[in-house]
Structure 1
Amino acid sequence: MRRHRNTIYVTTDGALLRKDGANVVMQVEGQEGGRVPAHMLDGIVCLGRVTVSYHLIGYCADNGITITYLSSSGRFLARVEGPVSGNVLLRKEQYRRTDDLEQCPIVVQGFLAGKIHNQRAVLRRSRRDHGDKMTTESTAALDDAENTLNRLLKRLPYEQDNERLRGMEGEAGRTYFKIFDHFIRREGLRFSGRTRRPPMDEVNALISFLYTILTHDCRSALEAVGLDPQVGFLHRLRPGRPSLALDLLEEFRPVLADRLALTLINRGQIETKDFTVLDNGAVIMSDETRKTILTAYQERKDAELRHPFLGEKTTVGLLPALQAQLLARHLRGDIDGYPPFLWK
């Protein structure tokens, strides 16, 4: 089993990251603000105005540590990585499968099975946790949504056309987000529909930020096993878009991002006062809010569970790496299909 290494998130504006022996050191206004052993890292994420020294960039490139730059609002800007060491034969098979009208849907079915199953699991968990406090209207809405997700899951194994599979993915997303507001149990923060670029309410700003950092983890996991994160199966190819990372992200959105967002809201750790509405209606979060989210995300990654397919105990943070390995095994022909992560 692969060892779980960490990602550090640097949110202090004006910080300088440098290498000191075997450590990554953060300096703010000439004073050391923290250090961490470099061998424990597989990624560094810089939010806002953060500088990384030339020597640290070189060390990270040589040792497989990716450096990702995000804007202060969490928008992806750039990524620095060293030479790709992936298996060229694996990537060649990946490219071939994406163009194979018979083989490509098999992979897409796996991603969608994980996404829809895990959306349904979030719904059921919310009903189990808060069902006795829900109104008749909320209960009926959740019943209708669960019936739709059940229908899509039953239909999924028989659908062999990529375009129709994408249509099913869209229907599942609309169904899920239509009832998402019913999962929120505290006053103040509300969700009226998914909005992006920019997010137009606090909940959208929160889940978009979580999706961004989770995409970073999925992309790193795919590169680590030799797959090309740009060439996906479910998401269409587009210059600059990590389509395969977005494919892998789908099964993790509900359980690693949405559930965490709901926990932070329902426990009162994130409130309306933690956000600012700009003149154009876009909503951004404060620096302290980002730190709260990142701390909770790292704690969630340290939690342990048993992988449903492998039957082994692992940490949540290793799930993207394990699923990337399973995808690579399927593409090599070692297993018949891609087994998604199914949350219980």
Structure 2
Amino acid sequence: MIKVLLNTLYVQTPQSYIRLDHETIVVEVEGAKTLQVPIHHIGAIVMFGHVSISPYLLGKCVNQGISVIWYDAYGRFLARATGRTNGNVLLRRAQHQLLEDEKRMFHIASRFVSGKIRNSKSVLQRAMRDYPEQRARLEQSVKQLDQSLRNIGKQSTLDELRGVEGYASSVYFEAFASLIRSDEDGFFSFTVRSRRPPRDPVNACLSFAYSILTQDCISALEGVGLDPQIGYLHALRPGKPSLGLDLVEEFRPYLADRFVLTLINRRQLDKSDFDMRPGGAVFLNEKGRKTFLAAYQKRKQEEIQHPIINQKVPLGLLPHVHARLLARHLRGDIAEYTPFIMR
């Protein structure tokens, strides 16, 4: 179940060109070589803005299962290239057949929601220990999340379940502002979750983190042979990675929200890392993305003792572990899908 955590190559310098040189990846800027790494050390290539890749390298990547992902200059996802569809066709058949079983579909969707709410609750409980002056406020939010967890079992339709998830998210983000500690001039003030576009620096960081994490979950699902577009909690729409969005829910608080809080509270990001766009949109700029991505890659290498498989696992492999657990459940190898719950 555990495999080597391969590195991700992020390229965001404008006019960079990425090419293949024998069994190595070469990055050039204005004709000058700036980086050369063995291709077998790379698990994915992520490009931002005006960056190009040679057809030969692109072909090599898809043949070797190396994902190539494009973002625009503001960190918004554009496209993703992968190799041939892999995995047992019987697994995908089971995944599709579940859509006809409303009771099982609801049950799996409820597992994603319960994982998200439990981990959101853990983020707030950790803050209660670290910031005792906020205890009363956070304690009330934790009680509301506990009620949301109890309400999951009282629902019978997916729309009702989505309503519980939406309410729990609003409770969580109302308390989120009190977790930001380094905001002397109000630059990192946060009031409400906003997206498409993000309206403040905190939302810009959250949106960027969620986008990267979603691509990690899509890669994990494809790696075990599941179809990322056939999900259960999120509605099915053309081009929408519904199962990828399902899986990412349980990881948002631990792998994204806590990471963003750490960057901000440790003052690793400041005003110079953001661009304010006409109309009120806020995005990480090239400097900010560089800081963000370097810290994110370092974070993915950290290990935890996984509560289900009882092994030490790098954080970057958590989506792969749970994609495998989900596949085993869909095949009937295990009775339940158990979401990741942070300790």
| Equivalence for 1:333 | 332
Distance 1:333 1:160, change over 3 A: farther
1:44 aligned partner: 45
Aligned partner of 2:65 in structure 1 is: 64
- Which residue does the alignment assign to 1:179? 175
- Uncovered stretches (5+) of structure 1, i.e. residues with no partner: none
Structure 1 residue matching 2:8: 3-state secondary structure = strand
Q: Which structure 2 residues correspond to residues 125-164 of structure 1 after superposition, within 5 A? A: 125-131=126-132, 134=133, 138-164=134-160
Query: Equivalent residue for 1:95?
Result: 96
Unmatched segments (≥5 aa) in structure 2: none
Distance 1:255 1:277 in 2: 28
Rounded to whole Å, the distance in 2 between the matches of 1:160 and 1:226 is 30
Using the alignment, how far apart are the partners of 2:71 and 2:59 within structure 1? 20
Q: Give, in whole Å, the separation in 2 of the partners of 1:99 and 1:343.
A: 32
Tell me whether 1:297 sits opposite 2:293 in the alignment: no
The whole-number CA distance in structure 2 between the counterparts of 1:24 and 1:255 is 32
Superposed CA offset, 1:97-151 (max 9, x none):
12311110111121112101110111111121222xx3xxx43331221001111
Q: How does 1:204-223 map to 2 (within 5 A)?
A: 204-223=203-222
Q: Give the secondary-structure state (helix, strand or coil) at the position aligned to 1:179.
A: helix
Question: 1 CA distance for matches of 2:197 and 2:100?
Answer: 33
For the pair 1:15 / 2:19, whether they are aligned, the reply is no
1:71–1:77 contact (8 Å) kept in structure 2: yes
Counterpart of 2:264 in structure 1: which amino acid? Answer: I
Separation (CA, whole Å) in 1 of partners of 2:159 and 2:47? 37
Contact 1:106–1:337 (8 Å) recurs in 2: no
Q: How far apart are 1:286 and its partner, in Å?
A: 1.8
User: Counterpart of 1:84?
Assistant: 85
CA distance in 2, matches of 1:290, 1:203: 13
- One-letter amino acid of the structure 2 residue matched with residue 266 of structure 1: N
- The one-letter code of the counterpart of 1:242 is P
* TM-score between the two structures when normalised by the length of structure 1: 0.96
User: d(CA) in 1 for partners of 2:146 and 2:316?
Assistant: 28
Separation in 1, partners of 2:87, 2:56:
25
Deviation per CA, 1:275-328, whole angstroms, max 9, x where unpaired? 122221111222111010001110110001111111111100110000000000
Query: How big is the shift at 1:161?
Result: 2.3
Task: Give the conservation status (yes or no) of the 8 Å contact 2:300–2:316.
Answer: yes
Cα shift at 1:158? 4.9
Over the aligned positions, Cα root-mean-square deviation in angstroms equals 1.2
Offset of 1:273 from its aligned partner?
3.2
Contact 1:302–1:316 under 8 Å retained in 2? yes
Query: How far apart in 2 are the matches of 1:302 and 1:44?
Result: 17
TM superposition shift of 1:164? 1.3
Bigger drift between 276-285 and 300-309 goes to: 276-285
Normalised by the length of structure 2, the TM-score is: 0.96
Task: Please name the residue that 1:169 is paired with.
Answer: 165
- Counterpart in the other structure of 1:104: 105
Q: Distance in 1 between matches of 2:20 and 2:176?
A: 44
Is contact 1:211-1:257 (8 Å) kept? yes
- Residue correspondences, number: 339
Does structure 2 conserve the Cα–Cα contact (< 8 Å) formed by 1:110 and 1:337? no
Post-superposition offset of 1:155:
3.2
- The residue that corresponds to 1:73 in the other structure is 74
2:286 corresponds to: 287
Q: Map 1:108-119 to 2 at 5 A.
A: 108-119=109-120
Does the 8 Å contact 1:73/1:285 carry over to 2?
yes
Tell me which residue corresponds to 2:265.
266
